[in-house]
Amino acid sequence: MTGILAFIVVFGVLVTVHELGHLIFAKRAGIMCPEFAIGMGPKIFSYKYNDTLYTVRLLPVGGYVRMASEEMEINPLNAGMRVQLKTNESDEITHIILDDKHNFTQIEEVEVIDSDITKEMFIRASRLHDGEEITYKLAHEAYFVENSQLERIAPRSARFESKSVWHRFMTLAAGPLMNFALAFALFTVLFYINGKPTDEAVVGFVAEDTPAEEAGLQEGDRLETINGETVEDWNDMSAIIQAEGETPLDIDVTNDGESRTVEMTPIVETTELPDGETTERLIIGIGAEMERGALSPILWGAERTYEMGTLIFRLVVEMFGSIVNGTFSFDMLNGPVGIYKVTEEVAAQGLITLINFTAVLSVNLGIMNLLPIPALDGGRILFVLYEGIFRKPLNKKVELNIQLVGVLFLLMVMILVTWNDIKTFFL
């Protein structure tokens, strides 16, 4: 149960922050957003505010912000359909009433002849009481009314494609940027809580029932040499221990100006990975000294976010390189099932470890969404940049076909990765 809750919370936070970035920048650009959804599948909760329906959906594996655009507008009006219209003082339609479950007065009943709610924004209809044919324009703020619910018709000026290249670029990039911002915030909080390990080979703590405790190592001891080899820093110390193997170590240490030599033999620490495999390393049972500060954790948080971003980007490049040279394997990827298993393992190690894992996942989500793959933010950004460079949008039919290919590609990859996860963890 803990694993399931951890997975829902972690994914919920990551997706909410990502989609919130899109929503905030879209609304700042004046783009109407009919829906903000966390999760996929059937709705389990909804709340409408300022023409945006906020929903939580059943499956905690994604989310989206539905932005108004010409392709997203669905016209429920058909020729011969009888509806009721409410107009303003300029005879512009403010409400198109699709049923009789309403409390509007002073309305006109008509039979639709023709309509366009995407470009020309009009309804041509015949009034039932006198048969006169009239062409009505839609007001800037106009709604469909059905089951006592108002659904605003997006004016052309409030649609995604009507905004400048810069506003569209920032709206699309805001999701990944918010993931990087979340990672920075989480890493910074962790540094404030735990501090940052120093690079120096100084003992910060000694674990119980370990060779270091038995040999008498103490907090503050500085490791100078191991078997006569000079220790430069913490990484150097770890490398020497691994290289020496399971053999006795003579370690020269200093503390408060006093020197002494301790002897110990490293032990093997075995770690089981979520996929069932194990890794081994030699340890003596000490942790690094922690550095703290008032403002330094902010800088460290930024550095850690950058380090993780470059690491993940390099791994992604290597993965695509493996596709080219024929060494690619789906074992390189984790789908929702694999991430759930990893999250379950991480959650068992405590809240601090889970927060760090969430920060790493957030960086990963930001990087992956910036990949130039159609249907991802990076692919849509490419279309916007194309328009910015060539001063004209890509042919709509071509763009839609590319998007369709991208969706099918991602769907196929998701199915294969999920099946691979199921085989790895359950079969």
Question: What is the DSSP annotation of 344-400?
Answer: HHHHTT-HHHHHHHHHHHHHHHHHHHTSS-TTSHHHHHHHHHHHHHHSSPPPHHHHH
What does each of the 427 residues of the chain score in pLDDT, given as a tens digit?
777 888 889 989 999 999 999 999 999 999 999 999 999 899 999 999 988 999 999 988 789 999 999 888 889 999 999 999 999 999 999 999 998 888 888 899 999 999 999 989 999 999 998 889 999 999 999 999 998 888 999 999 999 999 999 999 999 999 999 999 999 999 999 999 999 988 899 999 999 999 999 999 999 999 999 999 999 999 999 999 999 988 999 999 999 889 999 999 999 988 766 555 678 889 999 999 888 889 999 999 999 999 999 999 998 888 888 877 877 766 666 767 777 777 888 888 889 999 999 999 999 999 999 999 888 999 999 999 999 999 888 888 888 888 888 888 888 877 777 777 676 666 6
Looking at residue 153, its pLDDT comes to: 93
Neighbouring-strand partners of residue 264: 249
As a whole number of angstroms, the distance between CA 390 and CA 23 comes to 27
Both tokens of 383, joined, read 């279309």
19 labelled catalytic: yes
What is the rounded CA–CA span in Å between residue 187 and residue 297? 8
State the DSSP H helix or E strand holding residue 110, giving kind and residue range, or none if neither. strand 108-116
Tell me how far CA of residue 78 lies from CA of 57, 82, 128, 148, in angstroms: 31, 9, 16, 21
The pLDDT assigned to 348 comes to 83
Asked if residue 233 lies in contact with residue 219, where contact means CB atoms within 8 angstroms, the answer is no
- Long-range pairs, 248-255, Cβ under 8 A, ≥24: 249/284, 250/226, 251/215, 251/217, 251/223, 251/225, 251/226, 252/223, 252/224, 252/225, 252/226, 253/217, 253/221, 253/222, 253/223, 253/224, 254/221, 254/222, 254/224, 255/218, 255/220, 255/221, 255/222
* Architecture category of domain 199-291 in CATH: Roll (2.30)
User: What pTM does this model have?
Assistant: 0.84
Helices (DSSP H) in 195-233: which residue ranges?
211-215
Ranges in the chain annotated CATH 2.30.42.10: 199-291
The pLDDT score that the predictor gives to residue 38 is 94
Tally of CB atoms within 10 A around 296: 14
Sign, CA dihedral 59-65-70-74, equals: positive
Distance from C-alpha of 83 to C-alpha of 405, rounded to nearest angstrom: 39
**Pairing label, strands 108-116, 92-97:** unpaired
Q: Using CA atoms, how far apart are residues 305 and 311, in angstroms rounded to an integer?
A: 10
Is there a contact between 176 and 366 (Cβ–Cβ < 8 Å)?
Answer: yes
- Looking at residue 13, what is its pLDDT? 94
The dihedral through the CA atoms of 272, 273, 274, 275 has a sign that is negative
Residue 106 confidence (pLDDT): 87
How high is the pLDDT of residue 113? 95
Other beta carbons within 10 Å of 231:
22
- Identify the H or E element spanning 124: strand 122-127
Would you give the DSSP letter of residue 155?
A: P
Q: What letter represents residue 306's amino acid?
A: Y
Q: How many residues does the chain have?
A: 427
pLDDT score for 331:
66
Task: Identify the active-site residue in 19, 141, 161, 272.
Answer: 19
The helix/strand/coil state of 202 is: strand
- In the chain, the amino acid numbered 91 is D
pLDDT at 404: 85
Predicted confidence at residue 251, as pLDDT, reads: 93
- Single out the residue of 196, 236, 222 nearest to residue 356, CA to CA: 196
